Amino acid sequence: MDYGKFRYEEAQRLKESRKKTVQITMKEVKFKPKIAKGDFDTKVRHMLGFLDEGHKVKVTLQFRGREMAHPELGTKILDAVIEQLGQIAKVDTSARLEGRNMTMVLSPDKKAVKRPASVKPADAKPQSSNPPTISNTNLNTTTETENQNAEDENIQDSKEAI
């Protein structure tokens, strides 16, 4: 056998095998503990699209400042993500705290990805639940109406004094 022909056939086999391999990319979606419901739903929809395309998704929850004292709030958000995407994704790496970030890796569930082509990701909107948020602890707990009532009383008191 000719060595040149051997090298050519070997190159063709390698080229053919590279065509058959599937490149799985990792997509990352970042959350913060103080995420609003609409933002949460939008990010979950993006993750749903990534998982439908066959990508792995790294969910990162970034803590800032005093939020580090409440890692349980981050765990609640990641649990809500799992609850939303549990039908089509499986957890590769469970939630763990690495410095100021809590990360988790989801991969598409092979059974759920192979669904009929008639169902599109845009049609399959996840049911949204209120994501947990860190409440702002405000020392002044009066509302605007209470403030207005107090101002009205102060004005009346000052008129009576005159």
What pLDDT, on the 0 to 100 scale, is given for residue 48? 93
* Residues ≥6 apart with Cβ < 8 Å to 21: none
- Ordered by where they begin, the domains of the chain are 23-127 (3.30.110.10)
What pLDDT, on the 0 to 100 scale, is given for residue 133? 52
For residue 40, give both structure tokens.
Answer: 């949460």
What pLDDT, on the 0 to 100 scale, is given for residue 116? 45
Residue-averaged pLDDT of the chain: 79
Report pLDDT digits (tens) over 129-145.
Answer: 555 555 444 444 445 65
Separation of alpha carbons 69 and 80, rounded Å: 20
Separation of alpha carbons 105 and 100, rounded Å: 17
Give mean pLDDT, residues 19-30.
Answer: 85
What pLDDT, on the 0 to 100 scale, is given for residue 39? 95
Assign 21 a pLDDT band (cuts: 50, 70, 90).
confident
Give the H/E segment covering residue 124: none
Give mean pLDDT, residues 93-97.
Answer: 90
Range of weakest confidence among 18-22, 81-85, 131-135, 151-155: 131-135
